[in-house]
Every structure is written in C-alpha cells, then in structure tokens.
C-alpha cells in the first residue's frame, strides 16, 4: 500500500484516540490500512467490494504488527466502536472495520487539497533529486580521488576526464565547483 492520508491536528484533542501511545498507534494503523478506493475482497467467504475507509484485519495481525497485547487491541477497538469512530463486523477469521466519517476527512474535494498534493509531490521529487546529486558527488569524488592518488602527476587530465562523464553533468554548478576544488585541494582529498 502506498500513498498518504490526512491527519488533522485535532486528533490530539480526541480523548479516546490520544488516551495513550498504544491506542494512538492502533488508530493510526487503522487510518493507514484503510482503503482509499473501492477494491474487491473476500469476507465471510463472500466476495465484497471494500469501500473507502474500510479494511479487513484481525486482532492478532494488529497485535503482531504493532507489538501490542491482543487484549489491549480488542479493548481499544471496542472503545472506538462505542465512541462511534468505527463499525466492526467480525467473522471467525478476521473482521471488517469501517472508519466512520472517512470521506469527511480524507476526500480530496477542493482546490486547496489538490494544490497541497501537487506541492508535496514536487517537494518529494526535489528531495529525491537532491539526495541523488549528493550520492553522485560522493561517488565521483571517491572514484577520482583514488585515481589522483594513484597518478598525482596527472591531476589535471583526471579532472578533465571526470568533467566529460554523464554523472558530472547531473551535478549542480555549485556541486561541480565544489568537486573541482575538493579534488584539487590535497587537504580535502586526505579527509
């Protein structure tokens, strides 16, 4: 399962959910495990369509996943049900849990939500790109540092060779300047 969910800060004001860290963990597990779109499933031997905000799980699987005592999981789910945060249907193998008001909190229904999603996706791509550039920098630096150590009288030719690589072109101008300076500087090479 991939993607994200919305979590409002008011969750911390909910006395049932924020009762203790284990209860909070169970609530987040339910939110994160619930489907965000209709998907086919089998419950009580019957084919069903899981609706948004539903999941099929079990006390033991939640207990194992979160490392919380199964009795605590059972009591917590019952509290959520009494508080009308979830609805449960049980079978001898598992249970179908419906998070009530899922659509009210999780639906993407306005322009602001769509803009937030776009901003998050753009930021994620930038972070991945920045991380990759740093990795490329260190790979290039270490590779050409080794060559310079092996042939110190060829330092200019080695750096020229590096500048012709496709990896070097992926670096920002600042990173290109930095790697040039670091490879030319014997003190940086010895770090």
With b for 16 or more beta-carbon neighbours within 10 A and e for fewer, the 30-55 pattern comes to bbebbbeeeeeeebeeeeeebebbbb
Which domains, from first to last, does the chain contain?
Answer: 9-106 (1.10.10.10), 111-189 (no CATH)
Separation between Cα atoms, residue 107 and residue 105, nearest integer Å: 6
Determine if the pTM surpasses 0.75: no
Interval 111-169: pLDDT, tens: 555 555 565 555 555 544 454 555 777 888 888 888 888 888 888 898 889 888 888 88
Helix 111-150, helix 173-184: angle, nearest 10: 20
């Amino acid at each position: 399962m991939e993607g994200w969910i919305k979590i409002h800060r008011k969750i911390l004001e909910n006395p049932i959910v924020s009762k203790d860290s284990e209860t909070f963990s169970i609530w987040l597990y339910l939110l994160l495990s619930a489907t965000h779109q209709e998907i086919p499933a089998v419950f009580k031997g019957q084919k069903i369509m899981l609706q948004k905000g539903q999941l099929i799980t079990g006390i033991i699987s939640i207990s194992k996943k979160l490392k919380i005592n199964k009795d605590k999981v059972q009591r917590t789910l019952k509290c959520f049900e009494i508080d009308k945060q979830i609805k449960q249907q049980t079978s001898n193998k598992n249970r179908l849990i419906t998070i009530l008001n899922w659509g009210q909190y999780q639906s993407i229904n306005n322009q602001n939500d769509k803009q937030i999603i776009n901003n998050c996706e753009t930021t994620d791509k930038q972070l991945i790109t920045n991380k990759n550039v740093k990795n490329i920098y260190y790979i290039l630096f270490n590779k050409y540092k080794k060559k310079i150590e092996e042939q110190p009288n060829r330092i200019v030719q080695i750096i020229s060779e590096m500048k012709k690589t496709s990896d070097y072109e992926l670096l920002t101008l600042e990173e290109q300047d930095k790697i040039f300076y670091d490879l030319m500087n014997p003190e940086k090479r010895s770090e």
